[in-house]
Amino acid sequence: MRKIQPVQKFALKLLAKRQHTELELRDKLLQNGYDPEDISETIEHFRDLGYLDDYGYAQRFVESKRRTSKTGKGLLRSQLQAKGIPSEIAISAVNADHDEEDELNIALNLSEKKVFQWQKSGGADPNKLIKQIYGHLKRKGFSDTIIVRVIHSVSQTITQSQ
């Protein structure tokens, strides 16, 4: 039987609190002064045991974010990559969770709030509304394709209400 190394004990303690990406765990172990070679062995061992799974982490992250915050695929992908998830895993996890119609519905719901506020304030400048919606959706990580479809829909709504 193999003796548990101090680096493994500390890594288990971290993983008991919450799931980590491989990069997050590596960084925390390095910050605590553990040997890089021991860290690499620990990460490989934990990956083999299923304690570390970047794809599983990415899937759960995307599911959680979709429930709690209305964001587009682009922002979710960027957030995953910032946590050290490789690009191809981030793209796969984000694309597996929502298709383009889901994405469009989320963006339309977000734009409805802007339209309501615009109408409530008198609806003076439709171009200003379009710019606000574009900027808001872009910051939320929606693609230009989705944004154009939303703006087209909003433009139709504005035209019908005038």
Residue 1 has a pLDDT of 34
C-beta of residue 38 within 8 angstroms of C-beta of residue 5: yes
Q: According to the model, what pLDDT value does residue 60 have?
A: 93
Measured CA to CA, the distance from residue 5 to residue 25 in angstroms comes to 16
What does the pLDDT look like over 89-113, one tens digit per residue? 999 999 887 778 888 999 999 999 8
* pLDDT at residue 162, as a whole number: 60
pLDDT digits over 40-93, tens only? Answer: 999 999 999 999 999 999 999 999 988 888 889 999 999 999 999 999 999 999
CA distance 64 to 107: 18
The size of the chain, in residues, is 162
The pLDDT, as a whole number, for residue 117 is 84
d(CA 92, CA 81): 12
Question: Above pLDDT 90, what percent of the chain?
Answer: 69
Q: Residue 59 has which token pair?
A: 């899937």
pTM of the model: 0.80
For helices 54-68 and 87-97, the axis angle rounded to 10 degrees is 40
